[in-house]
Structure 1
């Protein structure tokens, strides 16, 4: 059995990215270890996730990553991020969902089906985060 536990995320400025992910997006800071000026480990984990990110200095440019974050309430998570100053796109959904071939329509999936609704944001280096809904339960 294998499990993905850490993804390296290339950033142009570790301190700026640390502030973005911790203070705006709401990731938990696991480690900020700097025993020397030339060595630093910064690890953050999205709340409830088994996979973390390591912020690493970019070599030759940053901003090429594309990552998925799954939430059980896309509308609420989008609103939370907007309130924290993160510019999040409007929600879209697969259209038609049953025979999806890459098309999208505005808004949440009317039936709130798993993996059918999306929104996205970019970090300070242009890495793209796709929010995807799974497990929505109307309250």
Structure 2
């Protein structure tokens, strides 16, 4: 899913680190795909995913929580929401590009919590972008 995100912060030391806001939810992620220059305070179309460096930790939760919670001061997050075949709906839709969720058919259409090592942000190139 493509969202319009406001760039809130660019890290001066880590080129890929960017803090964005989507629908009032602010989080920090890594943008490995950014086909144009971005600026703080401006809005851009993005797609959101996640990165698992070691092992996916996923568990069913009680209730219908949809949220993103940062773990400490690092880049890890808990993503809580409704699990689908290739997405998790945490109020913001996260794409499962690496097909992790296919290993958990028993959790489909249930509310779950996953722990991710970082959130990935892809800035989408549009036909109106200057070349």
The reply to whether TM is greater than 0.5 is no
Larger-Rg structure: 1
Higher relative contact order (Cα pairs below 8 Å, separated by 6+ residues): 2
Instruction: Return the TM-score normalized by structure 1.
Output: 0.29
Instruction: Return the TM-score normalized by structure 2.
Output: 0.30
The structure carrying a bigger strand percent of its residues is: 2
The structure carrying a bigger helix percent of its residues is: 1
